[in-house]
Structure 1
Amino acid sequence: MASNSKHHGSNQDSTSTTRSPGITRRDFVKYSTGTVACIYLGGLTTACGSKSGSSGSDFPVVVFSDVHFNPLYDPSLFPALNAAAASDWDAVFRTSALTAPSAWGKDSNYPLLTLALAGITQNLGASPFVIYTGDILGHGLPQMFYFNLNGTTAPRDAADVAAMQAFTDKAVAFFMAKVRAAVGTVPVLFAVGNGDSYTGYGPDSAFLANTAELFYTSFLNGIGDHQAFLTTFTRGGYYAVEPPGTNLMVIGLNTIIFSPLVAPTPGANDSAVAAQLDWLDSRLAAATVAGKKVWLLMHAPPGADIGTTAKPANVDANGHIATATMMWVSEYQTRFLQIVANYPGSISLTLAGHTHMDEYRVLPSSDTVEITPAIAPYFGNNPAFKRFAISGATLKPLDYSALNYDLATAPAQFSAYYTFSAAYALPGPLDTALARLTPALVTNSAQQALYRGYYYSGHNAPHSVSDTLFNPITDTNWRIYWSGIATMEQQAFIDSINAS
């Protein structure tokens, strides 16, 4: 959903994020027996005698997104995968002759999934949580299943639909089991993505109902109220949890339902969206009254669909546009932005994915949405993820390090790519640094070059159409990318671009 950039940035050491000294993951939580241990993270903990806002040890959190795992990357494995239990899929994948990680323009295959999870394991450090911002499944997986089953991309009957759903459930279970093996007992906080569905663009209600227990037990590892989670997740794909022993509320939204792509009929999703936004308002109010900080997780961010807007056919020789594609329906976005603005200071971290690129958005409330690049190289990006340094006192991000996998050189593992504060010479906290960076991206050519270079996580000079679905960022279309950072409304976005 975005364009390719053309400048390479320098690598930085990923270990520069601050670790909590002398603390191991074993100290944080023991959920497998149903008992909760005190999570000792200085300002993160309340049960250990400290609260957010007091001095405390900073800590890292690994964030990854948009794996888009395609279990059918090798069609010859379909019969065996379809017949096997999810727990036996590893053995099936190891029989494949396809051992190279996915190329640009493809979803993640088993070799790339394995590399990515190994990189996450190596960079966990003292992370008390891992965060995943959506899209477990490959693009169009239901249609690929039908094609392998019956030679068309549609079901013949109800039995085909049931078979597809069973296969999809196994793919989700397999993915979650692999993540769980990589991160140990650490809870995986998450948001659902558009690929997490039985339709190919969802999530749909049947998918949510059938996978709710998996998300609760395999990802959240049983933290939070079970029934409360099931109620909101099966109703609309959203939830809130308050990790025991912390001064934190984590809210996972389903922002795919805000997209005009989900319900082409105007107003079709109004009641469901209103219910979710009312619920969000109530959760933020509760967190504020309780003095808790909030981490807000979503898949599709608000604002413009920059990549689609920047397609060459939409941009004239002066870099001007006649219209812009937006991520959310305008009315839904307006209500969301109003709700967030009503609770200044409550939200300490907002994370999204979906675009597959290394970018960010600044909301009118001054809250910053950090967008994590994708593991899947589907849009021409190199696979990448981030490791944030979080303040134990404020639960806000101080800095991050990006790690990537350069498909051009096919190294043995994911490696350090850059650290924000060092690359841009902007010390934290991160939201303040990004607020300073935004205007500098117009006036400072060196920082603009860095941002354009990091956008595709290092794959910045596609050699053919097969390399990427979008063209590189250029001097002509750059204003689209810059304006998309802080201009949320469609007409204001268009005006900002055309003013140049």
Structure 2
Amino acid sequence: MACCRIPRLHSKIVAALIAIGSAGTLSAETVANPPFEIGENQGVFLIVTDIHFDPFTTPSLVPELDRSPATDWPHIFAQGSGQKFQGYGSDAGYPLTHSALRAAAKTGIAFDYVLYTGDYLSHGFGRNYRRHAGPGAKGLDSFSIKTARFVSKALESHFPHVPIFGALGNTDAVCGDYMIAPGSDFTAGLKRQWQGLSGQPGAFENFDAGGYYKVAHPTVPSHDIIVLNDIFWSIKYDDRCEPKGGNPGRTMMSWLERELMQAHASGRNAQIIMHVPPGINAYSTSDQGGKCPDRITPYWKEEYSNGFIALMQKYPDVVKFTFSGHTHMDSFVILRDKDNQPAIAAHISPSVSPVFGNNPAFTAYLYDRKDGTILDAATWYLTNLAATQAGKAANWALEYSFAAAFAVPDMTAGSLMKTAQKIKSDDAAKSLFTRYYAVSAGTTNPIDISNFRAFSCAQTAVTKQAYADCYCTED
């Protein structure tokens, strides 16, 4: 049973999005039939992530965007080259963003809720604003907030009356990449909108302080969704824009512990949503020089990685699934319990932005409405990104269903462990994982025979020591 009613979107932006959606380059062809059978007491939710919305693709439009309300933006983007898709190596402008959301809405699935796991703003956002805003600029703070709110409004327009839960990413900060400040104007500027999108406005009492919150699951009884701002835990986090000092990462860890303790005491379960996944950054580890284990690069600082794992092991009955983005790729990580058995399935969803060479994508998850178990996942992708730059219509198609591709009954930690072992030992499974990792991107795929081990070990080894035991044995 849904917990709340979601308000209607501003009618002006809905009309604008529909009108612009009929334009040639924004049309989308998708698979209209669901890739899996949705049984009794089952539902589907959608993950869209890492759009990295770029409002600077047509620099001459930026001053008008800056002084106009977000409801006018679709009409502004329709001017001139604002219709052009951006290609590999670029973030998502308006045409790609709208095309992706329109394609997701045309899958034929009635989604129970939508998750956005971070990175609303494009890379280099502040630099590009200062370069293109021109005389009379309204200010980076207001433009950043307006852009992030525009992305959320676009989600709402395509999925009206559906709860939407967002997490902050590393680019979602006025100060700069990985520099989100606790108690910032940016989080304050998003709070009211996110409260409305969630349908649970009373759940955001901690949002101003750090961008994290907890909501009741929209459909699963005795289940919560905990949304973290784990940029505070990143090895790249820089708090130079926090004038009050303190340690926001520790503050959030303490908050998380209290939430897990309360959930355990009351017999509730929770899914955790965050931007940066737990574990090891396989790409950075394999890409940089140096000897093993010195080149191993974790996503989080050791204090927070160890603390998170300890909490998951302390309350093993509470969390079974986490969801994140950040890498722009399609993968997973398995967290183990105190007995070294698979305990938590950490799913990593691919991005809409093609800046790192992946094809734009979004993912639908089939789940059990009785207990929240993830049963399957299906990914759709843009098959012809290069052709769209020449004015061809965007073609979105189903890429694969996880359960069918890897022959598993569900996407629990146990099934993911079997899949990871198969990927290590079976050439066919290895080929599938490699292809799907960058969303069938072919020549721009970061995985090859020379570095496959780095990515394979990252699926099952979360701590630096465990990863070294897996990865460094042949170094």
TM-score (norm 2): 0.84
- DSSP-derived class of the 1:499 partner: helix
User: Contact 1:398–1:428 at 8 Å: present in 2 too?
Assistant: yes
Partner of 2:269: 293
User: Contact 2:329–2:351 at 8 Å: present in 1 too?
Assistant: yes
User: Contact 2:320–2:345 at 8 Å: present in 1 too?
Assistant: no
- DSSP-derived class of the 1:106 partner: coil
User: Contact 1:17–1:387 at 8 Å: present in 2 too?
Assistant: no
Pick from 187, 199, 212 the counterpart of residue 191 of structure 2: 212
- Distance in 1 (alpha carbons) for counterparts of 2:449 and 2:50: 28
User: Contact 2:457–2:470 at 8 Å: present in 1 too?
Assistant: yes
Partner of 1:492: 466
Q: How does 1:413-424 map to 2 (within 5 A)?
A: 413-424=395-406
Give the RMSD, CA atoms, in angstroms. Answer: 2.4
Pick from 437, 451, 454 the counterpart of residue 477 of structure 1: 451
Unaligned stretches of 5+ residues in structure 1:
1-10, 21-55, 152-158, 463-470
Residues 1:241 and 2:215 aligned together: yes
Partner of 2:34: 15
Shift of 1:300: 0.3
Q: Which amino acid aligns with 1:187?
A: P
Shift of 1:326: 1.4
Q: Which amino acid aligns with 1:176?
A: S
Q: Which has the higher contact order (CA 8 A, sep 6+)?
A: 1
Unaligned stretches of 5+ residues in structure 2:
1-29, 338-342
CA gap of 1:270–1:490, structure 2 versus 1, over 3 A, is farther
- Distance in 1 (alpha carbons) for counterparts of 2:345 and 2:218: 26
Q: How does 1:283-432 map to 2 (within 5 A)?
A: 283-311=259-287, 313-314=288-289, 322-365=294-337, 366-406=343-383, 407-410=385-388, 412-432=394-414
- Distance in 1 (alpha carbons) for counterparts of 2:246 and 2:465: 22
Number of equivalences: 428
- Distance in 2 (alpha carbons) for counterparts of 1:137 and 1:173: 10
Deviations 1:371-417 (A, max 9, x none): 00000001000001111110123211001111111224545342100
User: Contact 2:271–2:320 at 8 Å: present in 1 too?
Assistant: yes
User: Contact 2:180–2:239 at 8 Å: present in 1 too?
Assistant: no
Shift of 1:101: 2.1
Shift of 1:122: 1.6
CA gap of 1:145–1:326, structure 2 versus 1, over 3 A, is same
Shift of 1:309: 1.6
Partner of 1:183: 159
- Distance in 2 (alpha carbons) for counterparts of 1:333 and 1:147: 38
- Which stretch has the larger CA shift, 11-20 or 247-256? 11-20
- Distance in 2 (alpha carbons) for counterparts of 1:367 and 1:456: 23
Q: Which amino acid aligns with 1:296?
A: I
User: Contact 2:223–2:268 at 8 Å: present in 1 too?
Assistant: yes
Deviations 1:232-276 (A, max 9, x none): 1111110001146743211000110101211389xx987322221
- Distance in 2 (alpha carbons) for counterparts of 1:129 and 1:289: 27
What is the identity percentage for the equivalent residue pairs of Structure 1 and Structure 2? 27
User: Contact 1:132–1:190 at 8 Å: present in 2 too?
Assistant: yes
Partner of 1:167: 143
CA gap of 1:14–1:324, structure 2 versus 1, over 3 A, is farther
User: Contact 2:417–2:460 at 8 Å: present in 1 too?
Assistant: no
Deviations 1:6-29 (A, max 9, x none): xxxxx9997123335xxxxxxxxx
- Distance in 2 (alpha carbons) for counterparts of 1:139 and 1:420: 30
User: Contact 2:352–2:361 at 8 Å: present in 1 too?
Assistant: yes
User: Contact 1:130–1:187 at 8 Å: present in 2 too?
Assistant: yes
